[in-house]
Amino acid sequence: MADKPVLTPGPDHPITVERNSARVVVTAGGRVIADTTDALTLREANYPPVQYVPRKDVDMARLERTEHATYCPYKGDASYYSIPDGGGRSVNAIWTYETPYAAVAEIEGHLAFYPDRVDAIEERPAQG
């Protein structure tokens, strides 16, 4: 297998990771799958912002790990989960970088959700 390229974020491809002060709630199949006040918002180049939810705030019992995997030269190898309660559209709905590259090390232990494969990803005001 050929070596995978490793790229560093910079002016041509910026990536930032910041704590999200809102409460982030993810629903699929009519059920709450994740609920956190500790989400991280990753902004990458011209892509829409992505909410990364700590694994501790995700109902992992409702997820099913799949064999699907992808690679990002900026973040590393991604593993995937499906949400059986969400039906066919929720196959590979979640990705996670279990050993992310140093530039985005903060997202280790977090999961991200495709907006079109869940019912909703809501950002609500955090309760005082």
Give tens-digit pLDDT for 65-124: 999 999 999 999 999 999 999 999 999 999 999 999 999 999 999 999 999 999 999 999
Under DSSP, the state recorded for 59 is: -
Of 48 and 126, more confident: 48
pTM: 0.95
Distance (Å, rounded) from C-alpha 16 to C-alpha 49?
10
Q: Which fold has domain 15-124?
A: 2.170.150
pLDDT of residue 3: 86
Q: Are the beta carbons of 15 and 40 closer than 8 angstroms?
A: no
Is the pLDDT score of 1 beyond 70?
no
Q: What value does the mean pLDDT of the chain take?
A: 96
Q: List, edge to edge, every strand of the sheet that includes 120-124.
A: 31-36, 23-28, 120-124
- In degrees, rounded to 5, the angle at the alpha carbon of residue 125 between the alpha carbons of residues 122 and 128 is 140
Residue 69 · residue 78 · CB < 8 Å: yes
